[in-house]
Amino acid sequence: MTAISPSIDGVAGFQVAGVHAGLKKDGALDLALVVSECDCVTAGVFTRNKVRAAPVLLDMQRLADNPANIRAVVTNSACANACTGTLGLENARTTARLTADALAISAEQVLVMSTGVIGEHLPMGAIARGIALSSAGLSDDWAAAAAAIMTTDTRPKLASVRVECAGGSYTIAGMAKGAGMIAPDMATMLSVVVTDAALELGELQNALSSAAQQSFNRIVVDGDTSTNDTVLLLANGKSGVHVEDADDLAAFQEALDALTRYLAQEIVRDGEGVTKFVTLDIVNAATVADAERIGQTIGASLLTKSAFYGSDANWGRIVAAAGRAGTAFDPDRSSLWVAAGESPSEPGLQIFAGGMPADYQEADAAAIMSAPAMTFKLDCGLGQGNATIWTCDISHEYISINGDYRS
């Protein structure tokens, strides 16, 4: 099992900063900068929402044109720069240009990310101030950078892993933000992942796409996909390790999978108003895609999430959600168990079997569901498709947070 550290001590050739530029009224950190001292091969995955923010459009074009010599990523919180038209695109380009000028690189070497309220223009005076401050204060303070990209998050999310191989050792590290508008449709949040290993672009993109599919695409907080979702992976090669042969690529993939899975799960744990972390193990569906779809439908159901919150083992809501997922599903061939914890060694208490309630005591099920973490195993009995989805409950606090998000 890959050992993940919940912190980042430093990655060769990278420096970061997190500053208060003036976008947030409370003086909190609100602009982050990640800089490599040399060119990076860069991969990205982006929202599939048809409404895409200006920075998403800019970054997609930059990576299509210029994926092999990216040097910096600048991220602001408090303003999404989405649905902002021509001016929004120009502001994203200006953000990149100001960053490039401060770092003495070209604008095409800078990627931009934004998060916050949709439909508002970037306050470019504050952006310029934040770029000046952050570029002058670069260090290894990844915690500050991770804090600067938060919106409704309650804590920074960052992690790192050290990988040993025949050619030496290297680090993969990343930070992420996300607490609401979280649903599996590529990215579902913002994340910057860096490594001091060297990889070819095709291998790097394949690794990121695969990791994201097994992590960021397997989480659900509220079923909404943002206009700004972006995950970037930058490789600068400063460790001197070249990840090339099959064994080294497999080790890199394993470590990246573990890192992104950790960050994805942290997003769910810190979801808006979340009180319970829920693992959905969907097994023996007709296909893997079916298993994913069933898990995502259950995970996004307001009825199931309300039951999780109330410690109510209302298996009917789970089965009904599976039945409307738009995939092959036969309740008469299905079984459902619930257990306390995130990775229980046994399936736990069976609460549904063969289209009917199992023989169990309601008090036993309620006791299991009162735990802060629980796991449901749904055996569909149709094939060999398996998938795990991580989700949560929904509480009154979620409504409070989102009822006045813009104020």
* Beta carbons within 8 Å of 39's beta carbon, 6+ residues apart: 68, 69, 70, 71, 109, 236
Return the structure tokens found at 47.
């929202």
d(CA 274, CA 299): 13
Amino acid at the residue 397? E
State residue 89's pLDDT score. 98
Report the CATH fold assignment for 277-403: Ubiquitin-like (UB roll) (3.10.20)
Closest CA to 174 of 84, 251, 124, 235: 235
CB 341 within 8 A of CB 246: no
What architecture (CATH level 2) is domain 14-269? 4-Layer Sandwich (3.60)
CB atoms within 10 A of CB 142: 29
CB 202 within 8 A of CB 209: no
CB 233 within 8 A of CB 212: no
CB 204 within 8 A of CB 282: no
State residue 225's pLDDT score. 80
State residue 398's pLDDT score. 81
CA 118 to chain centre: 19
Domain ranges of the chain: 14-269, 277-403
CB atoms within 10 A of CB 155: 13
Residue with token string 């959600």: 321
Q: What is the number of alpha carbons within 13 Å of residue 365 lying toward its C-beta?
A: 21
Return the structure tokens found at 164.
């040993």
For the chain (407 residues), the mean pLDDT of every run of 10, in chain order, is 92 98 95 98 94 97 98 97 98 98 98 95 98 98 98 94 94 92 67 98 98 94 86 98 96 98 94 92 98 96 96 96 98 98 92 96 96 98 98 87 63
Supply the angle between the helices 315-323 and 288-300 in degrees, to the nearest 10: 130
Burial of 363 (0-12, 13-18, 19+ CB in 10 A): exposed
CB 333 within 8 A of CB 382: yes
Strand 168-177 to 190-195 pairing: antiparallel
Torsion region of 19: left, alpha or beta (phi above 0 gives left; psi -120 to 50 gives alpha)? beta
d(CA 206, CA 159): 21
State residue 186's pLDDT score. 54
For the annotated catalytic residues, the residue numbers are 188
CB 224 within 8 A of CB 40: no
State residue 407's pLDDT score. 41
